[in-house]
Amino acid sequence: MSKLKGRDFLTVNDFSRDELYEILHFALQLKAERKEGKSHPLLAGKTLGMIFRKASTRTRVSFEVGMYQLGGCALFLSDQDLQIKRGEPVKDTARVLSRYLDGIMIRTYEHREVEELAEYAEIPVINGLTDLLHPCQAMADLMTILEHKGKLKGLKLAFVGDGNNMAHSLLLACSKMEMHVAIASPAGYEPRTEIVKAAQANAKDSGTEVLITADIKEAVKDADILYTDVWASMGQEAERIARIRVFKPYQINREVMQLAAKDAIVMHCLPAHRGEEITDEIMEGPQSVIFDQAENRLHAQKAILAKVM
Ligand code: CP
Ligand code: NVA
């Protein structure tokens, strides 16, 4: 049995490079099988519960469709309807759901809540985004880079914008996978120190570099991958106008593209605000792989589900 069976998927940093490659290669296999019309009912009879405390298009639909394609089923559980909203403790919810389900996916605010759920659940828990991390998106991103670049090792990814959950997951994922990673964020919006430290430790092991800077030019110089995300994440809606002012120089546009490698690809986890963190021209341009990335959420998550459940 794979060493992945029964494991939680809360952060990519809980996994070795070999384990992450195992998931990525399996995701590529599942994608190819699907394109050939082959079915793969690896989770027949199994049920995934999906707890959402925040909005979602990609995560909800790709997990639900993914379970269906694996022969199982998925339950959408909005926190608006769960007893959690009325104060039932997470540790009780975890144990109750463990008696019915085979796995839980959760999207929430505090990362600690996901850790607590995982601590008390007897079934695998998958992080579908917290304020701290978005590991399933990072897996789809690595898969997309592999498809477009044929490798991960030695490539440079530059993330431009807020030092948010996406920046954190990319810092951990890229450094683990022997990639160089640079983050360009305005002062006061840098990624969290504990994540940067963990990424630096990975990079030391990988023999690669982690750069945190306010200088967008330095970050994107010769980058193979340019990545950006919204300036105001879910839960930060009240700060949106103030953030637009601060982040204005941190946009992926034609001028910034000139500084990256000629064959650089452009990525965004979506949803995007065109005209803010990225121009419409670049999003729709030939170097954008943004919709492949969105598609790969499905395949990458199916691989995670089939391996851990
Ligand atoms: N990228 C992503 O997680 O999208 P959703 O918020 O639509 O799930
Ligand atoms: N940083 C964004 C990612 C959305 C997928 C957010 O948390 O809203």
Residue nearest to atom 6 of ligand 1 (CA): 56
Write down the pLDDT at residue 1: 61
Q: Please give the average per-residue pLDDT across 46-69, as a whole number.
A: 98
Q: Where are the domains of the chain?
A: 12-134+297-308, 137-294
Write down the pLDDT at residue 10: 98
Q: Please give the average per-residue pLDDT across 255-264, as a whole number.
A: 98
pLDDT at 90 over 80: yes
Question: CA 252, CA 27: separation in Å to the nearest integer?
Answer: 29
Write down the pLDDT at residue 277: 98
Beta strand 47-52 with 73-78: parallel, antiparallel or unpaired? Answer: parallel
Residue nearest to atom 4 of ligand 1 (CA): 58
Cα distances from 143 to residues 42, 107, 137, 294, in angstroms, run: 21, 22, 10, 11
Question: CA 253, CA 72: separation in Å to the nearest integer?
Answer: 42
Residue nearest to atom 8 of ligand 2 (CA): 233
Write down the pLDDT at residue 29: 98
What would the pLDDT profile of 167-177 be if each residue is shown by its tens digit?
999 999 999 99
The vertex-1 CA angle with 35 and 98, nearest 5°, equals 85
Three-class SS of 53-76: CCCCCHHHHHHHHHHHHCCCEEEE
At which residue do the structure tokens 């490798």 appear? 151
- CATH code of 137-294, in short, is 3.40.50.1370
What single-letter DSSP state applies at residue 47?
E
Which own/partner contact pairs does 244-248 have at CB distance under 8 Å and 24+ positions apart? 244/276, 246/186, 246/188, 246/189, 247/161, 247/162, 247/186, 247/189, 247/276, 247/277
**Cα 188 to ligand 2 centroid, rounded to whole Å:** 18
Which listed ligand is nearest to 234 at the C-alpha?
2
pLDDT at 191 over 70: yes
**Cα 131 to ligand 2 centroid, rounded to whole Å:** 8
pLDDT-based confidence at residue 110 (cuts at 50, 70, 90)? very high
Whether ligand 1 lies within 6 angstroms of the CB of 236 is answered as: no
Nearest ligand 1 atom to the CA of 57 is 7
pLDDT at 121 over 70: yes
- CATH code of 12-134+297-308, in short, is 3.40.50.1370
What Rg do the C-alpha atoms of the chain give, in angstroms?
19
Question: CA 140, CA 295: separation in Å to the nearest integer?
Answer: 8
Residue nearest to atom 3 of ligand 1 (CA): 59
In the chain, the percentage of residues whose pLDDT exceeds 70 is: 100
Write down the pLDDT at residue 188: 98
DSSP result, 228-248 = E--SS-TT-GGGHHHHHHHHT
Which listed ligand is nearest to 136 at the C-alpha?
1
Catalytic residues: 107, 134, 137, 229, 269, 297
pTM above 0.85, yes or no: yes
Residue 88 corresponds to which tokens in the numbers above?
A: 């039932």
Whether ligand 1 lies within 6 angstroms of the CB of 272 is answered as: no
Looking at every residue in the chain, the average pLDDT score rounds to 98
Q: Please give the average per-residue pLDDT across 67-91, as a whole number.
A: 97
DSSP result, 156-191 = EEEEES--SHHHHHHHHHHHHTT-EEEEE--TT-PP
Write down the pLDDT at residue 19: 98
Whether ligand 1 lies within 6 angstroms of the CB of 62 is answered as: no
Please name which of 22, 24, 11 lies closest in space to residue 300, comparing C-alpha atoms. 24
Write down the pLDDT at residue 11: 98
Write down the pLDDT at residue 2: 76
Question: CA 114, CA 94: separation in Å to the nearest integer?
Answer: 10
What would the pLDDT profile of 1-16 be if each residue is shown by its tens digit?
679 999 999 999 999 9
Check for a shared fold between 12-134+297-308 and 137-294. Answer: yes
Please name which of 90, 100, 107, 89 lies closest in space to residue 51, comparing C-alpha atoms. 107
pLDDT-based confidence at residue 298 (cuts at 50, 70, 90)? very high
Question: CA 166, CA 277: separation in Å to the nearest integer?
Answer: 14
